[in-house]
Chain A
């Protein structure tokens, strides 16, 4: 009998361990290799436990330097550079999903092992580095008492902040280092449960529309489809009136939105579903085409059926379109920034930087880096290139990239790291 138990335990451990990926598969670009679905009783899990940077930094390509611009933040997520060069950092943690299954309790404990123990700031911090030497002269709490701020946009003299439950407008005077007046609520945002709580934000090129990315309320509908009303969508919000329309649907978790500068098209990075195996489903970068349905929850990468969803919906699956560009499975892309005005030049003149927070749902870690996707004529034009790495050392996580922002005025790239609570500044070597 003891043997039977040991046998059963060994089987379960073996199931948990078979989450390694096949390095022969190409999981990036327009036509990623998609292996067969491999559901296991215990999903493959590998949490990189946090460890300090110890004076070291991420690794950047030759010709670039990297240094912390700010440390001791409170869970920095997204970054915005104001017209006067001031840098805003949204800090916070959201979500209030109840634990409705034993799994929710256990998974919460496991995933917390890979996160910072610092409490989210629920604020926006301002950094001013007027002389551009990489050491801010001013650091203030720009806006306080927010509710998990994430997306930010600056349009026509006003700052827009997407909290986890509302889109706010703050009037702004140039040079201001603190705003104490409460924001005007442009529109409420769906926030019940908030399994995926981040509300990403981008303004259209003409400034008339604010796009808000709203993630799904579950992995693939396991909280019931009733709570998925207005989830896994991008809203287009009229900047004047706050009226919204649903711009695209079935887009599981659009964690960052940005305007491609040569075409003015809206693009997004999107986190795809878990627990179909270490190499399903690739997270992606895609242009966001009005009216499109991206498959969630019924299908992935176009019309590949997810058998876990009942009742199924063949009509919806038939409409599902494949995204433009795969970034790799479970990389957890959370940051997107297109370069403008020639970027860093050379190989980094046209394209987008992408912050990859890193995986939990596979044995071999993926993500945990900042990558570069080259563009030509407004479309991806080649495989992704590692830009900032070294977030993992000896299997432990020193940092986890979130938002990335290219500042064309100073030609620097800013990277928010919500594990070491740092904002990194990457600049061409002087």
Chain B
């Protein structure tokens, strides 16, 4: 790998990592507020979830764009397989998050319910998995370099 390429990649990776931090934190927080709502029926918890999920989707959308660009760049390299896995995880996270945003637009108990909770768990797990891969990968690359 060329030195110039490394200089180009580092800030790019940092930006990706920053963006990815948002869905990880926001989906996790939405899961917590969903659980709080289901335990208390206090609607404000569900309102929090709704905004947290929207925030996760906004930043998750940018992460997805980043993942697709990264995938294109990695296509002819040996890191392709991990780039594919990462992009698929982020895409699934985002689609389930979108469905969950609509779920949370329903009224009162229907704004969460069992289905909303399952979606929150899945999008949180996918965000964490994507984070695991992304942040591990940076270390691997630095060793290779």
Contacts and interface: CB of A to CB of B under 8 A. Distances in A.
Interface of A: 1, 4-5, 8, 12, 39, 41-42, 100-103, 106, 218-224, 275, 297, 307-311
22 contacts: A1-B87, A1-B91, A5-B95, A8-B99, A41-B99, A41-B102, A41-B103, A41-B105, A42-B102, A101-B105, A102-B50, A103-B104, A103-B105, A219-B107, A220-B107, A222-B43, A275-B106, A307-B109, A307-B110, A308-B108, A308-B109, A308-B110
A42 B101 CA distance: 10
The 3 nearest A-B residue pairs measured at CB: A222-B107, A103-B105, A41-B102
A223 B108 CA distance: 8
Given A223-B43, A310-B41, A39 B110 contact: yes
A39 B43 CA distance: 19
Contacts of B105: 41-42, 101-103, 106
A223 B54 CA distance: 19
Interface string B115-133: 0000000000000000000
Nearest to A224: B43
Contacts of A12: 98-99, 102
Given A8-B95, A311-B41, A220 B108 contact: yes
Interface string B19-50: 00000000000000000000001111001001
B75 interface: no
B51 interface: yes
A62 B99 CA distance: 51
Contacts of A103: 50, 104-105
A49 to B, nearest CB: 23
Contacts of A218: 107
A1 B95 CA distance: 11
Contacts of A220: 107-108
Nearest to B90: A1
Contacts of B134: none
Contacts of B50: 101-103
Nearest to B110: A308
A221 B106 CA distance: 12
Interface string B60-73: 00000000100000
B95 A310 contact: no
Nearest to B111: A222
Nearest to A273: B107
A275 B107 contact: yes
Given A1-B91, A41-B102, A103-B50, A224 B42 contact: yes
With most chain B CB atoms within 10 A of its CB, the pick from A39, A103, A218 is: A103
A311 B41 CA distance: 7
Given A101-B47, A220-B107, A310-B41, 6 more contacts: A1-B91, A39-B110, A42-B105, A223-B43, A224-B42, A224-B44
A240 B111 CA distance: 45
Contacts of A100: 47
With most chain B CB atoms within 10 A of its CB, the pick from A12, A42, A308, A310 is: A310
A285 B41 CA distance: 32
A40 to B, nearest CB: 9
A12 B99 CA distance: 8
B74 interface: no
Nearest to B107: A222
Contacts of B95: 4-5, 8
